[in-house]
Chain A
Amino acid sequence: MHLIIIGGGEVGHALARALSDAHDVVVIDHDPTVGERFSSLDVEFLHGSGTSTAMLRRAGIERCDLLVGCTGLDEVNVVACALANRVGSPKTICLVSKEDFLQPDGGGDLLREQFGIDRILWPEAQLADDIVRVIKAPGAIDAEAFLGDRVRLLEYRLEAGSSLARGPLATLKLPPGALAVAVKRGEEFLIPRGKTQLAAGDKVFFMGTHEAMHEVQSRVVAARESRARQVVTIIGGGDVGFRVAQQLDRSPDIELRVIESNPKRGEMLAASLSRALVLQGDGTDLALLEAEEIGRSDVLVSVIDNDERNLFASLLGRQLGVRKIITRVSKPGSLRLFERVGIDVPLSARGAAVASIVHGVAGGPSNLLAVLEEGQAEILEIKVPAGYTPTPLLKLQAPPDSIVGAILRGDQVIVPHGSDVIQGEDTLLVFTTAASTPQVRDFFQPWSG
């Protein structure tokens, strides 16, 4: 495939690195110094504007299969995608950072129809939604929702003395609609079987229906943490912080504070949010955090536009006694470090976007729904073709390190056990480690034939 990436920032670089081995990649950026970062990769770097037809032609727009607009400027991305669509006929993916492009009136659909943009990604919004989901699942360190919120995935770290660490999985009597799909012990993933024994310190992934997950939550989380009222502090009222705040502002059982350093922005936040307390100050100012008793918070969300300051603010929060800390990480390499120093949930806005683009390039009948644990594990959505012979799960010789977490049949969600049968036209949610993803894809590939 021939790919053109407009914008050599973090997303552009991550994309190039993931795709340059198997595909022809051309990166266009107006900043020549960016080129050095790409010198170690097998990509062609062009210095110039992504909104110039001449430049697009030089990059080989005529034979291009996919163009990704991922500069820091939404308008440039939109124009580049639209131009590419006129000059050549690639698939186009456009990254945006403002709500304007997605608003229902004259938003996403208009861009699709009038500018020929195939996909619009708004990583910050996705990140904000992720954060809100994690906040609303007390005790969980990650939370995802699939199939229109009919299936949920929750990740918990088991504490010492947890009732789930008392015996093999089979004896734990999990609610019928829930399934433990994976365990991460140290750096290693294992797909749990009936005889698997969970231990304190394990990260366990549960998948299941809404109701069942509610029960799981009450089993895992200590009573004090699952109390109805939560105190949430958001540090940084930028795009992500504001979006999270807006969503939390609506729930009456969340007491919300937002700390924003820019007074003008703070005024805007205070004007738009009805219940939240907006504080003007620096999220890394210990005196402020102490005066406002930030340590009393159940959740601290640090989403400043700067990894170092986020880390610092989060560590201060941890020091003051905040229970759960969610932090935004921009540099992909820092995720693990953040986790190691005690951040419960480091999240990267762009990581998810990059993974979903990369997956789209790989193709197949599957659809990447979520990336977990810094890309070590993924959730795939796979459509079973109509003529498929019904096969019980036990007989399915699926690749190792993968598990079917849920089956959607018509409107019905089935959380499967070994005896459950896969039929034609089912939709499967498959949990897999990233390493096994190609095998899983290949395994289900013939079905699409």
Chain B
Amino acid sequence: MRLPVVLHLVGGILRLYAAAFLGPVAVAALYGEWWDLAGFTLAGVVTLAASVAAWRAAPDVPSDFRRAEGMAVVSATWLAAAAFSALPYLWVGLGPTDALFEAMSGITASGGTVLTDFDRYGRALFFWRGLTQWIGGMGVIALFVAVLPRLAIAGRELFFAEAPGPTDEKIAPQIRRTAAGLWKLYTALSAAMTAALLATGMGLYDSLCHTFAAVGAGGFSPHPQSLIGYENPAAEWVITAFMFLAGANFALQYRALRGERRALVADEEFRTYTSLVLVSAALVAAFLWRADVPAATAIRHAFFQVVSILTTTGFAAADYNQWPEQAKMILLALMFVGGCAGSAGGGPKVVRHLMVARYTLKELARTLHPRAILPVKLGGRVVPDEVMRAVVVFMLLYVLVFAVITGLVTLLGADLVTAATATIASLGNVGPGMGRVGPMDSFAHLHPLSKVVLVVAMWLGRLELITVLALLQPGLWRGATWRQRPAGPTPRVPPSVTP
């Protein structure tokens, strides 16, 4: 592990991220929020300065770039992005823990908040909250579709075995091309959603904020009551539709748009995802209707909330904390599923559940037919044993991490429902949980250490555990060095720095 190389890459990525501060700066200028404008400008400059300094730690990326270094870069990038995103929150008066929580919730597109009194903050700050989710969502799609499959982590290589482009191509241009295609799709989807929201009569500022939070599967709303505050059923349906797309595989959507009509429909994960939405929404609607909610409202709220939770967005069009227990139970179960692989959504992903379910069925069949050859198949192709093993380990690890963090949060004073749902909502990047961290509440009242633990949960969950946890292996750090190259050829002269 060559730390300068890691720093160089993290710095390089954050250099681009610094440009994001221009967004809230512009909004602050537009609405005359001069104090916030100064804060965002300062935060942007600090981010840029720090990232350029880090970037200069090494002259370039050596050709023998290693897997471990890759994972370190990915983990450190999300952590550093959260830290720098927290600067504006510090500026407006949040404590360091709360600022970090809010920032991590943004950059991991979770959506859980510690803000209680929304009136105290300006429009630029809420714009910033949304923007971090939009960027975080895009980042995670690019990461999982274009970059991580090559690192073969937690069975990821399988989901994108059909990554576009010839395989003998050099990795870097291929990643760049895939990422560029995804970026276009993501932007187009965002533009379409903003236009659709404007058409429903929502203002431009609110439309943009909700677009950022929905397409990134984040869930921050500039309104303290989330979508309830708008009383705009059309907008709820628009958001439901786009959340659904945000939770679907972007690589497949890209291919579907490029002319492969059946790319999405032919995908088993997408079909399962769609059925899951339909069945869950129907059940929830039925339970709401039985609880005397008018049918039309019940259906709208059921679809909105099911999609919002399953895609791990976390918007609320109703205070589901007040819903019948049956409906809440369904939502809670969906928190453990998450979106599709290659989407902006978090959670363990539909495809892993699908594979583990098939694996379980095969193992049951094996008790009856001990001599049978029973490969697990996905999309008609056999899942290799090592991939299946990685997926099973991932799921076990997920449950373990959930249990440990729930335990910690409970020990730190939360009740069990609050602790468990806060944990799964953070680990799965959903955002709001139930109990005292429901959609109309905040995480502010939790013990500060709980917040720190949940920040870690959001970070772990976003990077699918293994990317981060693999870095805990002591063997990895024993060889860590501040030298750029262990030995050998003299380093090249660093290229001139562009600010």
- Chain A residues near B (Cβ < 8 Å): 263, 266-267, 269-271, 274, 277-281, 288, 291-292
In the complex, A291 Cα to B377 Cα: how many Å? 26
Smallest CB separation, A309 vs chain B (Å): 18
A271→B371 contact, CB < 8 A = no
Kindly list chain A residues whose C-beta atoms are within 8 Å of the C-beta of B180: none
Interchain CB contact (< 8 A) of B373 among A274, A278, A288: A278
In the complex, A277 Cα to B369 Cα: how many Å? 9
Kindly list chain A residues whose C-beta atoms are within 8 Å of the C-beta of B381: 271
Smallest CB separation, A90 vs chain B (Å): 45
Smallest CB separation, B387 vs chain A (Å): 14
Kindly list chain B residues whose C-beta atoms are within 8 Å of the C-beta of A277: 365, 369, 372
Kindly list chain A residues whose C-beta atoms are within 8 Å of the C-beta of B382: 267, 270-271
Interface string of B385-397 (1 = CB under 8 A from A): 0000000000000
Kindly list chain B residues whose C-beta atoms are within 8 Å of the C-beta of A279: 369, 371-373
A270→B373 contact, CB < 8 A = yes
Smallest CB separation, B262 vs chain A (Å): 18
Count of inter-chain pairs, beta carbons less than 8 A = 35
A270→B371 contact, CB < 8 A = no
Smallest CB separation, B301 vs chain A (Å): 39
In the complex, A289 Cα to B26 Cα: how many Å? 76
18 contacts between A and B (CB under 8 A): A267-B373, A267-B375, A267-B382, A269-B373, A270-B374, A270-B375, A271-B377, A271-B381, A277-B369, A277-B372, A278-B372, A278-B374, A279-B372, A279-B373, A280-B371, A280-B372, A280-B373, A292-B371
Kindly list chain B residues whose C-beta atoms are within 8 Å of the C-beta of A281: 371
In the complex, A277 Cα to B375 Cα: how many Å? 10
Kindly list chain B residues whose C-beta atoms are within 8 Å of the C-beta of A280: 371-373
Tell whether A263 pairs with B369 under 8 Å between CB atoms, given A271-B382, A274-B380.
no
Q: Which bucket holds chain B's interface residue count?
A: 10 to 19
With both beta carbons as reference points, the residue of chain B lying nearest to A285 in the complex is identified as: B371
Kindly list chain B residues whose C-beta atoms are within 8 Å of the C-beta of A291: 370-371
Kindly list chain B residues whose C-beta atoms are within 8 Å of the C-beta of A274: 377, 380
Highest count of chain A CB atoms <10 Å: which of B365, B373, B374, B380: B373
Kindly list chain B residues whose C-beta atoms are within 8 Å of the C-beta of A292: 369, 371
B380→A266 contact, CB < 8 A = no
Interchain CB contact (< 8 A) of A263 among B365, B373, B377: B373
Kindly list chain A residues whose C-beta atoms are within 8 Å of the C-beta of B371: 279-281, 288, 291-292
Smallest CB separation, A150 vs chain B (Å): 34
In the complex, A274 Cα to B379 Cα: how many Å? 11
In the complex, A266 Cα to B382 Cα: how many Å? 13
Within 8 A of A (CB), among B373-417: 373-375, 377, 380-382
Smallest CB separation, A83 vs chain B (Å): 37
In the complex, A271 Cα to B372 Cα: how many Å? 12
Kindly list chain A residues whose C-beta atoms are within 8 Å of the C-beta of B365: 277
Smallest CB separation, B443 vs chain A (Å): 47
Kindly list chain B residues whose C-beta atoms are within 8 Å of the C-beta of A278: 372-374
In the complex, A274 Cα to B380 Cα: how many Å? 7
Kindly list chain A residues whose C-beta atoms are within 8 Å of the C-beta of B370: 291
A266→B373 contact, CB < 8 A = yes
In the complex, A308 Cα to B490 Cα: how many Å? 73
Smallest CB separation, B221 vs chain A (Å): 45
With A266-B373, A277-B365 known, 14 other A-B pairs at CB within 8 A are A263-B373, A267-B373, A267-B375, A267-B382, A269-B373, A270-B374, A271-B377, A278-B373, A278-B374, A280-B372, A280-B373, A288-B371, A292-B369, A292-B371
Within 8 A of A (CB), among B419-436: none
Within 8 A of A (CB), among B16-61: none
With both beta carbons as reference points, the residue of chain B lying nearest to A278 in the complex is identified as: B373
Interface string of B138-161 (1 = CB under 8 A from A): 000000000000000000000000
Smallest CB separation, B402 vs chain A (Å): 34
Smallest CB separation, A360 vs chain B (Å): 41
Smallest CB separation, B349 vs chain A (Å): 24
Kindly list chain B residues whose C-beta atoms are within 8 Å of the C-beta of A263: 373
Smallest CB separation, B161 vs chain A (Å): 15
Within 8 A of A (CB), among B341-376: 365, 369-375
In the complex, A139 Cα to B377 Cα: how many Å? 35
In the complex, A279 Cα to B373 Cα: how many Å? 6
In the complex, A387 Cα to B372 Cα: how many Å? 63
Interface string of B205-219 (1 = CB under 8 A from A): 000000000000000
In the complex, A280 Cα to B365 Cα: how many Å? 14
In the complex, A292 Cα to B368 Cα: how many Å? 8
In the complex, A288 Cα to B369 Cα: how many Å? 10
Smallest CB separation, B170 vs chain A (Å): 31
Smallest CB separation, B423 vs chain A (Å): 39
Smallest CB separation, A231 vs chain B (Å): 14
Kindly list chain B residues whose C-beta atoms are within 8 Å of the C-beta of A271: 375, 377, 381-382
| 5 nearest A-B residue pairs (beta carbon) | A270-B373, A271-B382, A278-B373, A266-B373, A281-B371
Kindly list chain A residues whose C-beta atoms are within 8 Å of the C-beta of B380: 274
In the complex, A279 Cα to B382 Cα: how many Å? 16
With both beta carbons as reference points, the residue of chain A lying nearest to B375 in the complex is identified as: A270
In the complex, A267 Cα to B371 Cα: how many Å? 12
In the complex, A291 Cα to B370 Cα: how many Å? 9
With both beta carbons as reference points, the residue of chain B lying nearest to A277 in the complex is identified as: B372
Kindly list chain A residues whose C-beta atoms are within 8 Å of the C-beta of B369: 277, 279, 292
In the complex, A269 Cα to B380 Cα: how many Å? 13
In the complex, A269 Cα to B375 Cα: how many Å? 10
Smallest CB separation, B268 vs chain A (Å): 12
Kindly list chain A residues whose C-beta atoms are within 8 Å of the C-beta of B374: 270, 278
In the complex, A271 Cα to B382 Cα: how many Å? 6
In the complex, A267 Cα to B375 Cα: how many Å? 8
With both beta carbons as reference points, the residue of chain A lying nearest to B381 in the complex is identified as: A271
Highest count of chain A CB atoms <10 Å: which of B365, B371, B372, B381: B371
In the complex, A190 Cα to B217 Cα: how many Å? 79
Smallest CB separation, B383 vs chain A (Å): 10
In the complex, A280 Cα to B374 Cα: how many Å? 10
Smallest CB separation, B408 vs chain A (Å): 44
Smallest CB separation, B59 vs chain A (Å): 48
In the complex, A266 Cα to B371 Cα: how many Å? 11
